[in-house]
Amino acid sequence: MPADILVQGGCVKNRIVIASKNSGKVKEIRGILSSAGPRMEILDLAELSYAEKIDEIGNNFIENAIIKAKAVYAKFKLPVVADDSGLCVEALGGRPGVFSARFAGPHATDKENNRLLIEKMNNVCEEGRKAWFSCVAVFYYAENRYFSCEGRVYGYIAEKPSGSGGFGYDPLFYLPSHGKTMAQLKPAEKNSISHRGKAFRALKKYIDKYFRTG
């Protein structure tokens, strides 16, 4: 797919790439950014048949987000949004953190990661079950030029999973304010309070400005 600006029927269409193949994450980000900028076309790595492996070797969320954004920008020369996010548990000293997706191993499934978390939290009292989701989102629009924003949501680790929505650790992340886990929320409700929703809504103003001013 060509990386230059597409012209269809005399209408210039701006493109932006979501640096992810995770269908759940892509759906959430699309929902947040769908109104960003005039005549926006939001692409993702699955649509672009991006096969390269990106090694997330950063020590924190922002480093990993920039690593992903730079790699995708280098390939397509299009503005890129990327994020890195994870679950941080107080009783585990902030882990799994940047290792959230591979907590139970390099190719672990969500169920395997959740199962390991339940094991690690066995017999931990309620106070120690405090946790937060953190997301750092990056809008990378030129070589070494970017904006970044962070979002967090606080809750507790439940003793067992509940709910069928969301992905990742959502079935175990209990929100006292809602009396539900993240996986029990409707998509729009989740986006309104989630760490990713907060980060990308904050980032959206920079994306809007970029595409409106060029």
Catalytic residues: 84
C-beta of residue 122 within 8 angstroms of C-beta of residue 76: no
The amino acid at residue 150 is: E
The amino acid at residue 138 is: V
Rg (CA), the chain: 18
Q: Phi-psi region for residue 168, left (φ > 0), alpha (ψ -120 to 50) or beta?
A: left
Rounded to the nearest 10 degrees, the angle between the axes of helix 23-33 and helix 195-213 is: 50
Cα-based torsion angle of the residue sequence 28, 32, 38, 43 in order, rounded to the nearest 10 degrees? -20
